[in-house]
Amino acid sequence: MVERRNVLPKVLIGIYLVPVLFPFYWMLKSALETPADVYKPRLLLSSFTFENFSTLLKTTNFLVTASNSLQAALISSVIVVVCSGLGGYALARTNIPRKTLIAQIVLFSYMFPEVLLGIPFFALFQKLGLLNSIGGLAIAHVTLSLPFGLWLMWQFYQALPKSYEEAAEIDGASKFQTFLLVMVPLSIPALTAVFIFAFAASWNDFVLGLMLIRDDQKFTLPIAMSLFVQQMELNWAVIQAANFLLALPGLLLVLFGRKYLVRGFQTSGLAN
């Protein structure tokens, strides 16, 4: 009876993973097949070639747009991590009036659609000279994940006992030293979760990039993907190769950072 109870969760997880992982399998399978075989769909790989990836890199500016996406994602993610850590700690440990209401308002701002944010950003960046720049786009991307990051870090620091800080203060550490040398190392799992979330939000953004970038040499990968469909003349094998490379960074981040994601959410109380 106990063995059946242990097997059932594994079976349910396996059933859940089939529809989740199958699109990734089909995408990679199509990317590794010849164009002719893609139009003859089979469950298993019928041919094997890297020609689709070679064609993608030779005939498009994929590497340029991927570099643009990477720059925007890294810049925005670092800003989100720093601001979330500092802001979350301030909300959790300082006596700010109505700080719970402030945190709720911050989280509520996360619900605003990107389209509504894009129009004010366009007008503001046009005056500041940040329009059509990767740096400006990265700043805009910060708004996609900073509210959630602040909320997560606020919950995380609230869950940590104050004894760590009290011990550091007894040893003569200042508030900033306590935060930097004690609290930051303790919050690595939560900060890593915030980084992964912010990176994925920036990497996959389409709306803000489309509204704030005009130069095709500064397009990010999601925008360029819409152009690749036209350039490739519906060569689905090459398009699937591009899709796979677009999904790969996020897949690797979740794969190697999953333990930090789980620990970060559990410690912050969001897992419950």
Domain borders along the chain are 60-268
What letter represents residue 218's amino acid?
K
Report the pLDDT value the prediction gives residue 170, as an integer from 0 to 100.
87
pLDDT averaged over every residue in the chain:
86
pTM: 0.86
Across 195-218, average pLDDT: 92
| First-to-last C-alpha distance (Å) of the chain | 28
**pLDDT band at residue 271 under the 50/70/90 scheme:** very low
CB neighbourhood size of 165 (10 A): 19
Model confidence pLDDT, tens digit, residues 120-152? 899 999 999 899 999 999 999 999 999 989 988
Across 43-56, average pLDDT: 87
Please state, in angstroms and rounded to a whole number, the distance separating the CA atoms of residues 149 and 195.
9
The radius of gyration computed from the CA coordinates of the chain, to the nearest angstrom, equals: 23
CB neighbourhood size of 72 (10 A): 29
Least confident segment among 8-22, 114-128, 224-238: 224-238
- Maximum average pLDDT range among 19-28, 163-172, 202-211: 202-211
**pLDDT band at residue 118 under the 50/70/90 scheme:** confident
3-state secondary structure of 210: helix
Higher per-residue pLDDT: 149 or 37: 149
Report the pLDDT value the prediction gives residue 75, as an integer from 0 to 100.
97
| CATH number attached to the domain at 60-268 | 1.10.3720.10
